[in-house]
A and B are shown apart, each in its own frame.
Chain A
Amino acid sequence: MALTGLQIFKLLPNTNCKKCGYPTCLAFAMKLAAGKEALDKCADATAEARAALGAASAPPISRVVIGSGPRAITVGEETVFFRHEKTFVRRPGLFRALDPRGLSAADLAARLDEWAQVRHERAGEVFQIDGVALTESNGVDVCASAAAAATQRGLPVALLAATPEGASAAAAPIKQHRPLLVPPSGAAMAPYVGVAAPLGVPLVVSAADLDALAGVAADAVKTGVTDVLLEAPGTNLRDAHRSLSLIRRGALDRIHPGLGHPVFLRVGPGELEKAVLGITKFTSVITISDAGSEAWLPLWTLRQNIYTDPQKPLQMEPAVYPVGEPDARSPLLVTTNFSLTYFIVSTELDAAGVPSHLAVVDTEGMSVLTAWSAGKFSGERVAKALREMGATERVTHKTVIIPGYAAVISGELEDALGDGWRVLTGPQEASDIAFFFRDVWASAVCAS
């Protein structure tokens, strides 16, 4: 269990020496309790204090790194059951499954090259295939060369093993790149522990139920496997959901050391729903058999949503964003930098088929109504922002459209812009933008 500020305070020297940068030991203790400072900053902390704090501050779920270099992924270290309690921190790694059997070296290389280069940009994040999950087949040695080829391209590797010998042959040459060793579901774990421990690679353990799972995980750690993941028991969504929920709850409540590890889930072809469950509910590494973007895009996007820090409003970079290919006669609209607002407005603009300039003003991520109430979307602030980002230079018609909910700022904004600028009040809801262009914009601009 985490210690409270007062419990930590009792472990500190209580000299108020200020060397840590805080006026009192109590203030520093409060920051430690909130996880915002490290004990290293206390020059006089005793060994006893360090030990007590270290044990208490050890995350309830261990940290595991898979892969090496810039594309290595880190999972685990989660601290909450509900994202609104704090945030989920380590987004799950989505690994694409590949069976290298029957692929020529050239085909394999081409495929890995393609996968390593997949990139989709969305709302400030680049979506990539996080790793490759390679099927190892008994008596076939292509897995080792495929693993080496994936590693060369910087891709983290998971080895879906058939046998301990095959797993060892594929993992040993790339052990410094930390491949994730995945035994067959429900296989006897001891032989795989015997492979993973000496190589120092992370290992997925599985069992028929949670009792047995916690047991094999604890045994694996005792036998020398430093990094363990748990395969969630259950084939249908109900059973997988039960496992995922109870593992997370048990880990946070620290009911058994064997539950304090990140969770692994296999998703077969056409099982998008299972991947959706995994991303929503606590999974850290998912192997996905489906190939197309029609499956990957929703999964990446879901991960982006679920792993967004709920305490921080989603914000867009303040700037003038083009919708379509606008020119100097195209409409200029202004809105707030709350991502959701931006997305909805730009989607509707796009759908309306009117190329336009969308100026996004820094409102610290607040929506229109909230920003206006908080004084972040006043006429003066909007005018200043429009000038600073050069929005006023983009169009010759000197007309700016403001959101309907901010109608009251129109006079103030006209005054602040001066120079013959006019303010048009747009609709309250983005869904009415098309009607606005049809009914209001055309006549407003023709009249000028």
Chain B
Amino acid sequence: MALNLKPKTWPGGVREVVLGAGSRKPITVGGGKGLPLHTFEATFPWRPVLALEVTDINPRTWVGAVRAPWEGVLGQPAAAAQRAVTDFGADLVMLHLVGTHPDRGDRTAEEAVADVRGVLDVVSCPLIVKGPGAGAKQNDILSRVAEAASGEGLTLHSACQEDYKTLAAVAVAYGQVLVAESPIDINIAKQLNILLSEASVDIGRVLIDPLTGALGYGLEYTYSVMERMRLAALGGEPMLSCPVVCLVGEEVWKTKEAKTPAAKEPAWGPEAERGINWEVATALPLLLAGADVLVLRHPQALKRVRRQIDAWFNGAGG
């Protein structure tokens, strides 16, 4: 008795969003017409892409294991971005303007603009720009950056339900992509996209950030919310059909398991390998749940996740 394995088909799919424009070499993400990575039964025109995170200031909270590959360029975003793309093979770069936070350096919008220009000058890939976190400062910084890099198709991270109007207007005015962030809540994700489209944002220029819980720190919540979003998108729900971006690196390298040195917890194994494994073991389930863009910190994690994505889409390696 032969098995009747009919491919599962769906009325909807994930939207395609083009990251980068102008002087950028654009990347298209999304477009999947089936359950995540079900390449055996549905079409996936674009494979998931991998970004590395670079920062405007020397990130004091990064532990040794994740600082090591960036030694010499920490706090030098242009040099770090170049290393991310040329040496580490990142598809794109996320510039985290952490130093503009009032408590973390209080850098000015002019400095932020200079950092963005510096990165745009040395790499040709699309750029994600993450502000210092919700609030007046974030809106100011990201608005000025978006204006200065008008037409570059930057991905601005991020607008949220409580504070989206400024960035919605800025994204529309300067031709940027907007990340809509929701707190692991499918209803808020949908509501925010409705609000954004009412504010004239093209939903085809939006990525959803469902808020990433690292392995052991709420990964399962993010995982299930993403599975439900993908099912909604496949069912034809237009407001949940945006590609999904997950900020894996920053969540993983905050965890006790990634940070604690083996000297303090000898039974946990060497910390460098443990941290990279933690990042890989967070990234892969999120890909399986439907992530289209992953932002990582450790180049070794990127390399390992890349090998799996290549196996999925080329049928080689693995």
Contact = CB atoms under 8 A, between A and B. Distances in A.
Interface of A: 82-84, 120, 122-123, 210-211, 214-215, 235-238, 241-242, 245-246, 249-250, 255-256, 259, 272-273, 276-277, 280-281, 292-295, 297-299, 301-302, 304-306, 308, 310, 340, 343-344, 347-348, 350-351, 429, 431-432, 435, 439
B231 to A, nearest CB: 8
B38 interface: yes
Interface string B251-264: 00011110100000
B88 interface: no
Contacts of A429: 133
A214 B1 CA distance: 9
B257 A281 contact: no
B103 interface: yes
A340 B280 contact: no
> Closest 7 CB pairs between A and B?
A236-B318, A294-B269, A294-B274, A293-B269, A298-B281, A305-B220, A292-B269
A210 B318 contact: no
Nearest to A295: B277
B28 interface: no
A299 B304 CA distance: 16
Contacts of B213: 340
Interface string B231-269: 100000000000000000000001111010000000111
Please report whether the interface of chain A is mostly helix, strand, loop or mixed according to DSSP: helix
A294 B227 contact: no
B313 to A, nearest CB: 8
A230 B40 CA distance: 20
B86 interface: no
Contact of A237 (B218, B219, B227, B312): B312
Nearest to B270: A294
5 contacts: A236-B315, A245-B35, A246-B40, A347-B256, A432-B103
Contacts of B316: 236
Nearest to A118: B267
Interface in B99-132: 103
Contacts of A347: 217, 254-256
A439 B104 CA distance: 13
Contacts of A350: 256
B224 A84 contact: yes
A347 B61 CA distance: 13
Contacts of B4: 255
A306 B254 CA distance: 21
Contacts of A210: 3, 5
A304 B257 CA distance: 15
A343 B76 CA distance: 32
Contacts of B231: 82
Interface in B1-54: 1-5, 8, 35, 37-40
A241 B39 CA distance: 10
B288 interface: yes
B281 A236 contact: no
B88 to A, nearest CB: 18
B273 interface: yes
Interface in B269-301: 269-271, 273-274, 277-278, 280-281, 284-285, 288
A256 B37 contact: no
A432 B134 CA distance: 13
A56 B258 CA distance: 47
Interface of B: 1-5, 8, 35, 37-40, 61, 103, 133, 213, 215-221, 223-224, 227-228, 231, 254-257, 259, 267-271, 273-274, 277-278, 280-281, 284-285, 288, 304, 308, 311-313, 315-318
A340 B254 CA distance: 14
Contacts of B227: 82-84
A273 B269 contact: no
B60 to A, nearest CB: 10
A348 to B, nearest CB: 8
Given A211-B3, A276-B281, A301-B216, 14 more contacts: A83-B223, A245-B38, A249-B8, A255-B5, A256-B3, A277-B288, A294-B274, A301-B257, A302-B285, A305-B215, A305-B223, A306-B285, A343-B217, A347-B217
B296 to A, nearest CB: 14
A365 to B, nearest CB: 12
A321 B61 CA distance: 24
A281 B288 contact: yes
Nearest to B216: A301
Nearest to A298: B281
A292 B216 contact: no
Contact of A272 (B40, B255, B267, B281): B281
Contacts of A83: 220, 223-224, 227
Contact of B1 (A84, A237, A256, A293): A256
B216 A305 contact: yes
A310 B3 contact: no
Nearest to A241: B37
A435 B215 CA distance: 25
B220 A298 contact: no
A215 B223 CA distance: 34
B103 A435 contact: yes
B280 A276 contact: yes
B3 A340 contact: no
B269 A242 contact: no
Given A83-B220, A237-B312, A306-B223, A301 B215 contact: yes
Contact of B218 (A256, A280, A340): A340
Contacts of A246: 5, 40
Nearest to B5: A246
A76 B178 CA distance: 43
B277 A298 contact: yes
Of listed B37, B228, B304, B315, residue having the most chain A CB within 10 A: B37
A310 B220 contact: yes
B78 to A, nearest CB: 26
Contact of B257 (A237, A259, A298): A298
A300 to B, nearest CB: 9
B216 A343 contact: yes
B294 to A, nearest CB: 14
Contacts of A348: 254
A295 B3 CA distance: 36
Given A237-B318, A340-B218, A272 B38 contact: no
Contact of A236 (B35, B304, B311): B311
Contacts of A344: 217
